[in-house]
Amino acid sequence: MPNDLNQALDVSAAGMDAQTARLRVIAQNIANQDTTGSSPGADAYRRKTVTFKSVLDKTTGDEKVQVKNIGTDQSDLPLKYDPSNPAANAQGYVKLPNVNSFVEVMDMREAERTYSANLSVMQATRSMMNRTLDILK
């Protein structure tokens, strides 16, 4: 039983690590939502995305979540007419980042809920371990 509890802690910790990475990417996206290119016609910041994968821990037989890839959203960059901007192309248009703050906030809330759920599992597991130790005293 204690080994099972340790495995539960490991699985929850892996989930928390994955959501922490996701939150870091979301923070980068929000921080760069106004970052345009620095030269005429240059691309603006492109939104980063996170994908996850399930990995089998061969020592315990548990499946854990890990970050599979931090990619780049290849959707079109919106254009804004601003001929005075140093990043404006010959027609006066500037490429803006493809970051939607509403989407980022929703992703952040989902990551926060998932992180909290894993933390709750860890707390419950720790409580069970403490009760087991109390019984053994």
DSSP labels for 16-82? HHHHHHHHHHHHHHHHTTT---SSTT------EEEEEEEEE-TTT--EEEEEEEEEE--SPPPEEE-
Structural domain boundaries in the chain: 2-136
φ and ψ at residue 3, rounded to 5 degrees: -65, -40
- pLDDT the model gives residue 58: 87
Residues above pLDDT 90, as percent of the chain: 78
**Average confidence (pLDDT) over 46-73:** 94
- pLDDT the model gives residue 2: 56
Over residues 9-48, the pLDDT tens digits come to 999 999 999 999 999 999 999 999 999 998 998 899 999 9
Over residues 80-124, the pLDDT tens digits come to 999 999 999 999 999 999 999 999 999 999 999 999 999 999 999
